[in-house]
Amino acid sequence: MADNKSASAYWAANVRIILISLAVWFVCSFGLGIILRPVLKGIHIGGTDLGFWFAQNGSIYVFLVLIFAYAAKMNKVDREFGVDE
């Protein structure tokens, strides 16, 4: 990255991806697992209700998917700004 404007654009893209990932993880873990659990009580998955499943397993699976999605998206951003390996 040659200039300061490009560096700040790269950092802004990175922060945007991080904030979106954190928002998705928050909604899945706190929103679906705790706040909306009574609403999701009627939907069953794996022998238990969907709210409990998100509280125990779903948020971990979403986190794992977010790790790979973040890595893929950052590789794309790195290529865009010419800082890829």
Report the mean per-residue pLDDT for the chain: 88
Q: Residue ranges per domain, the chain?
A: 17-81
| β strands within the chain, DSSP E | 44-45, 48-49
For 22-35, the pLDDT digits (tens) are 999 999 888 888 88
Determine the average pLDDT of the residues in 71-81.
93
**pLDDT score recorded for residue 53:** 84
Instruction: Please say if the pLDDT value at position 2 is more than 70.
Output: no
Whole-prediction pTM:
0.79
For 46-70, the pLDDT digits (tens) are 788 888 888 888 889 999 999 999 9
Question: What end-to-end distance do the CA atoms of the chain give, in Å?
Answer: 13
Q: Are 63 and 70 in contact (CB under 8 A)?
A: no
**pLDDT score recorded for residue 63:** 92
Per this entry, what is the length of the chain?
A: 85
